[in-house]
Structures are given as C-alpha cells and as structure tokens.
Amino acid sequence: MIYRRFFVLWALFSPCWLPALAPADPARFEKAIQAFEAEDTAKAPPKDVTLFVGASNIRRWESLPGRFKKTPVLNRGFGGSRLSDVVYFADRIVIKYQPGQIYLNAGGNDLHAGRTPEDVLAALDAFVATVGKALPKAKIAFISIPPSPARWSEVEQVKKANRLIAVSCAKNGVEFIDIFPLLLGGDGRPRPECYIQDKLHFSEAGYDVVTSAIKWQKEISAFAKQDAKKAPPAQPVIFTGSSSIRLWSSLADDFPGLPVMNRGFGGSEVFDSFNHAARTVIQYKPRQVVLYAGGNDIAAGKTPRRVLADLQAFAAKVHAALPDCRISYISNAPNPKRWHLVDRMRELNSLAEAFCKTDPRLEYINTHDAMLGTDGRPLPDIFTPDQLHMNPKGYAIWTRIIAPRLK
C-alpha cells in the first residue's frame, strides 16, 4: 500500500507523468494565476487569512466575504480546475499567503475528465503533504465533492471519492465537510434551487447550504461524539435552535421524567436548523421537536417572511421523514439588546403563529408576552449581563409555559 501511494504521488509530480494521471495542462490556467498575483501587487492580501481554493464553485462565490465576516477571507478559486491543478499551483495560490485556515473544494472536474476516485484521493494527499510541509500550523478542510444535476450520471464515482477522502481526512487531521447529503432533496436527487440554470454551479441557495455546513461543522460533529459516549433516549423530545437553547443547562432538570435532548447550537439561524435537521433532529426519531430560532436571522438582516420560509422548510423536512412528529415553535423573545428590532420580531412571531395554525402537528408557544413588564418592556431581571440571553429567572418563565405543551 505504501509503495502504491508513493507511485501515485510520483506520477503526479514527476516530469514523466503517466497519461492517465497527468494533470490538465497547467498553462491554460497561467493567466488566472497571474491575475491573482496582479491583485496581490495592487493590494497586499491580509495576514492570517482564511483561504478558499478550488474549482469554479469557489471562483464564482462572490458573496463569500459577506458570509464570513469574523475573519478576512481570500478567494483563490479558478474555474475548470482539477484537484491536481490546485496541487500544481499550491505555492502560488496557497502557500505564499500563509493562511491559518484553508478550505478546499475540487475533484469533480477530475472525475468528469476520467480520473478515478483513487486518483482524486492521491491528489488530495499530495496537496495535504505539500501544504503541511510548508505550513505545518495551517488547518485544512476539504469540502466534499457535491452532487449536481448536470453530472448526475457520475454520482457513484463522486460518492466513492468522497468516501475515500473522508477516511483519509480522518487519518491525516484534515476536516471533512460533507455537503453532499445537504444538497439532496427528499427524492435523493439534487435540489434544483441550489443550482443555477446550468445545473452545475451553485446558486445563492446552494451557497447558503455550504456556508451553514462550514460554520456549524464542529458543533454538529460534537453531537455525534456525545451520542457515541451516551446513547440517546428512544423517542426523545428534542430542543433545537440557537443559543438560548444551547445555553439551557438546566433543561433535563426543568422537565423531569421526560426524555429531553438539547441540540441547540449558538448563533444559528432557522435555516441552519433546516440544513442540519437530519443530524440534529431526524436521526433520533423524536416524538416532539421544540424549536427556538429566528432572532439571529432578523439581526442579520433577513426579513420576517424569509425566516418564515425557512421555518416552513424545516417543518416540511422533518415531517417528510417523521410524519407524526409534533413541532413546537417558541416565539422570539424580547430582549434589551435587540429591542430596536422588536417590531420585526413581532411580525415574525405573528407569521409563525399563523403558519402553525395550518397543521395540527404544529404548535406556536407564546413566551414573548410573559417576558414583558407592566411597562411593555422586557423584564429587567431575567437576562444575563449581555442583555441578550436569559438567566435562570428567564428560563423559569419558559419552563412554566412550555411544560404543559410537552406530550
């Protein structure tokens, strides 16, 4: 096995490449690489940057900087490239920037050109070895090869490549971000709304999926580790959503005798609950789901109707897999920090309440009003110093209202 891998790596980098393993003619990307270098000359790239590199789904990601605002990002995708091309140009488009984090998405073009999944794996291993030697502290994450309607005939090769890569990543300390299942609909085929007209490249809806997968990879993986240590209860009541759920440390004590599970991940939006529903909700086959999310969405600038659409998508996804599951939506809480957004929060609450009335399996739980004082403003003693999250007094209000709704 060691000799075989050495041979493949030699074939990738030797001047005497075998025809079956030779990368695409790198000269065809020289202009694109030179354009990156011209950009660097005109404006020095930021230090400790998060680098995105790969093929056209990276290159076309124009909304990338706005989606990752906490760290400077740099896009070094070049359309039509293969993973072997990324390896070839690694010194000029990756290593020179000394990034702290690298996200790589490539390999689909390799398979489309006739490369085998094993060839793609060898190219990735070569990339990891090359970057690891030059930048031993850099973190590498591989975004799985996505499914696409235009190349659906190649899906089995894509699946195999992703499986091989996932195993290799686990052995080599590389993060594997599996977007493949997130881009499939209930029929097991690519979701059309995630692709533009060519049925190959991502739409903004597709980039929503990828963004959510990247942001919450560690949190979702942590749930799996918890399950490995302690088996989840049968037919649980799952609480999921944003930080007010995640921080509910007394959840089990507040609902004694009930098989409650906390699957909240802080900072998340309703779309994130939808995007990761398979791993945070559906796999546990819960009798009931209690969802609290929406405030972060409004704070991020989403309209109440956009958030409602995500809530509807979440309910549809859960009910498609679990038709008898009850879904309870907790109203968005009033809090001092976001009081300037209260009108939009209330509009979302009204829309959510009306939606829940359309299906007996849905339920709207109004905690909003109970969190207000006689002056119509948030009660001053139920929040933590950040004026956003609740203290035990706030959770006591929620417990009193929610408890009768857990069947």
Q: What is the Cα–Cα distance from 395 to 334, expressed in whole angstroms?
A: 13
Query: pLDDT tens across 161-195, in order?
Result: 999 999 999 999 999 999 999 999 999 999 999 99
Bigger pLDDT: 68 or 407?
A: 68
pLDDT of 11 higher than 60: no
Q: Kindly indicate the confidence band of residue 79, based on its pLDDT and cuts at 50, 70 and 90.
A: confident
Q: Where are the alpha helices (DSSP H) in 186-283?
A: 204-215, 217-229, 243-246, 251-254, 270-275, 277-280
Strands of 139-143's sheet in order across: 73-77, 50-54, 101-105, 139-143, 175-177
pLDDT at 7: 38
**Parallel/antiparallel/unpaired status of strands 101-105 and 73-77:** unpaired
Q: What is the Cα–Cα distance from 129 to 94, expressed in whole angstroms?
A: 13
Q: What is the Cα–Cα distance from 191 to 57, expressed in whole angstroms?
A: 16
pLDDT at 25: 77
Phi, psi of 260, deg, nearest 5 = -85, 145
Calculate the alpha carbon distances from 86 to 19, 76, 160, 164 in Å.
18, 10, 21, 19
pLDDT of 14 higher than 60: no
Homologous superfamily assigned to 228-405: SGNH hydrolase (3.40.50.1110)
Instruction: Tell me which residue of 212, 217, 210, 207 sits closest to 166, measured CA to CA.
Output: 217
Q: How large is the average pLDDT for residues 1-9?
A: 40
Q: At residue 311, what is the residue type?
A: L
pLDDT of 99 higher than 50: yes
Q: Kindly indicate the confidence band of residue 22, based on its pLDDT and cuts at 50, 70 and 90.
A: low
Domain ranges of the chain: 2-215, 228-405
- Common-topology check for domains 2-215 and 228-405: yes
Calculate the alpha carbon distances from 113 to 31, 94, 263, 374, 375 in Å.
22, 24, 41, 68, 68
Fold classified for 2-215: Rossmann fold (3.40.50)
pLDDT at 23: 55
DSSP-derived letter for residue 166 is H
pLDDT of 76 higher than 70: yes
End-to-end CA distance of the chain: 55
pLDDT at 26: 73
Q: How many CA atoms lie within 13 A of 57 on its CB side?
A: 33
pLDDT of 101 higher than 90: yes
pLDDT at 201: 98
Q: How large is the average pLDDT for residues 334-342?
A: 96
pLDDT of 145 higher than 70: yes
Query: pLDDT tens across 277-307, in order?
Result: 999 999 999 999 999 999 999 999 999 999 9
- DSSP one-letter string for 98-132: --SEEEEE--HHHHHTT--HHHHHHHHHHHHHHHH
328, β-bridge pairs = 290, 363
pLDDT-wise least confident of 14-23, 124-133, 252-261, 388-397: 14-23
pLDDT of 368 higher than 80: yes
pLDDT at 9: 43
Q: What is the Cα–Cα distance from 35 to 58, expressed in whole angstroms?
A: 16
Average pLDDT, the chain: 93
Residue 98 CB: number of other CB atoms within 10 A?
Answer: 15
pLDDT at 70: 87
Q: How large is the average pLDDT for residues 333-360?
A: 97
